[in-house]
Amino acid sequence: MSWLCVGDYNEILSSKEKQGCLPRPPRPMEDFRQALLHCGLGNLGFIGNIFTWRNGRQGRTFVQERLDWACANTEWMEIYPFARVHHLHAAYSDHEPILITTHEVTQVTSRRQKPKSFIFCQATMEEEQHLLNILGRYEAASGQAINRHKTSIFFSRNTRDSVKAEFQALLGGRIMEDCEPYLGLPMTGGRSKVNTFKGLQEKITKKVKEKFISKAGREILIKIVAQSVPTYTIGIFKIPNALCDTLNSTLAKYWWGQTKDEKKIHWINWEKLCSPKARGRMGFRDIQAFNLTLLAKQAWRLIHNTHSLFYRVYKSRYFPNCSFMDAELGNNLSYVWRSLFAARNIIRGGSKWKVGDGRTIGVNTHNWLTHEPVFLGEQQ
């Protein structure tokens, strides 16, 4: 059965919903939250001023609170997914009237997949109310409604369960216990990077199950299909060397026709098979070398594309007072920065300075000569 409960609850959920006089004791607010959870009611949010009641006094005795609420259970929200609560202005009463609209907002349909949006904020009631106001203004301006059933909320590990319940009651949606991948990439990672990227091995293993295929077909399957699976991931993250060896071993076993129940002799090791065909080999890609190459391509953008948003964000965070080539690893780092930093030596080994006025070239530290610099008085 669907339920909608609207009116004066004579209670607030947090101290942010009261101004003036003494603060509200935490016990009644906690009892109110538990009552809503017990009844399966969720807050529908609001558009307008946060406070719905004022005592009409002046000076220090003036008090305003949010005592009027519109709450509903999941069944009612499914029937009226586009319902909105508006706090209107009161002309005579001390309580502001509440208007609830249940009509469906015209949506713009498209065959193309709609992009996801990420919003970051602190787990406080004040920021949550700001977020609800922003979303309400967006819906009113664009004519598109936010689907709360497809909304997910992700909290940091140190967030209390009571705060999570408050946010879920106000915003709706579901709480994500584990951060889901986005575009096939992990949004968070634990200490074990092998477990973080273990999905790559599963995807590649599924691609190389074809048994009845010629050597030429195996070559095409490895190069075009299997080795292209991790391209997007390894272009952003440096995957562990142990996982690279596992992926290379999986492809090598498939190349030599090895299955789970039998073992085949690997007449040539995988490193030699990854050499170019001009040298008499197969021209396969070594996953680890390919990983560092793609990361070096991204790091190259931090040297030349200095006007991009990517460069400005990383420079302000990791190397504000120097260039990328002179930056230090630092502390409290993201895994993407560690990955880009690991590929910097590839750029150093394959690039040289083009000497201009020489102001930014370190004589001893930069590779600007075809040989090591020899100073006067030193033996060659």
How does DSSP assign 143-176, residue by residue? -----GGG-EEE--TT--HHHHHHHHHHH-SEEE
Higher pLDDT, 69 or 145: 69
User: Is pLDDT at 190 greater than 80 in this prediction?
Assistant: no
Tell me the pLDDT tens digit for each residue of 63-104. Answer: 889 888 888 887 787 787 778 888 887 766 788 888 888 765
313's CB contacts (< 8 A; 6+ apart) are none
Angle of CA points 193, 244, 292, to nearest 5°: 90
Give residue 115's pLDDT: 56
User: Is pLDDT at 339 greater than 80 in this prediction?
Assistant: yes
Higher pLDDT, 286 or 2: 286
Which of 66-70, 289-293, 352-356 is predicted least confidently?
A: 352-356
67's CB contacts (< 8 A; 6+ apart) are 8, 9, 10, 11, 12, 52, 53, 95
> Model-level pTM?
0.55
User: Is pLDDT at 230 greater than 80 in this prediction?
Assistant: yes
Strands (E), the chain: 4-8, 18-19, 42-43, 53-54, 64-65, 68-72, 84-87, 98-101, 152-154, 174-176
- Residues in the chain, total: 380
Q: Phi, psi (5° rounding) for residue 85?
A: -110, 125
Give residue 234's pLDDT: 85
Q: What 3-state DSSP class applies to 101?
A: strand
Give residue 109's pLDDT: 44
Phi/psi class of residue 280: alpha, beta or left (left: φ > 0; alpha: ψ in -120 to 50)?
Answer: left
Q: Cα 353 to chain center, whole Å?
A: 37
> What's the token pair of residue 6?
């609207």
The answer to whether the beta carbons of residues 73 and 42 sit under 8 Å apart is: yes
